Amino acid sequence: MARVYISSVIDAPAAKVWERVRDFNALPRWHPRIAESRIEDGLPADKVGCIRNFRLQNGDLIREKLLGLSDYDMFCTYAILESPMPLTDYIATLRLTPVTDGDRCFAEWSAEFDCAPDVEGELIDGIGTNVFQGGFDALKRHFRG
C-alpha cells in the first residue's frame, strides 16, 4: 500500500480555512487544477455518501465519494471511485488543526492506495506535489490576500 502525506501551515485561522474547503463540491473555487465539479443526484455537498464528479484543467474526469466530514474536527475523508490514475482503493483525508500561536492553521492531506510497484513513486510524487501541495499553496495565496 502506497502512502502520501503532505503538511503545511497556512497563515489564517483554521475556521476560516475550513469555511473555504469544507464544501465537497468547492474544489474549483480553491484548487487551481480543478476546472469544474458537480455533486451527482442533486445531493447536498456535505452529505456523507455523496459523489462529486469533477474535471481537471487537463480534461481528465474523476469521481470521488465523501466518506466522512466533521465540522468539529475539521476534516473530510473521501475515496476515489473513478480516475485515469492507475491506482485502486484510494482513501484520502484533508484535516485542519488550529495553531494557537499566531492564529494560524496546520493543514494535513494524506492518502493511501494500491498500485503497481513500477508507478508507485510517480503517483506519490504527483499526488503529493500537484494535488496536495498545490492545494495548500493556493490556500496560502488566497489568505495572504
Find the mean pLDDT for residues 3-16: 97
pLDDT higher than 90, residue 23: yes
At 28 the pLDDT is 95
Q: What is the pTM of this model?
A: 0.95
Q: What is the pLDDT of residues 70-115, one digit of tens each?
A: 999 999 999 999 999 999 999 999 999 999 988 899 999 999 999 9
Domains and CATH numbers, the chain: 2-144 (3.30.530.20)
Q: What is the pLDDT of residues 105-133, one digit of tens each?
A: 999 999 999 999 999 999 999 999 999 99
pLDDT higher than 80, residue 145: no
* Cα-based distances in Å from 48 to 17, 39, 68, 137: 20, 12, 6, 27
Q: What is the pLDDT of residues 24-66, one digit of tens each?
A: 999 999 999 999 999 999 999 999 999 999 999 999 999 999 9
Distance CA(81)–CA(103), nearest Å, equals 36
Tell the residue number behind the cell numbers 510524487, with chain if given.
Answer: 125
Angle at 18 between CA 58 and CA 80, to 5 degrees: 40
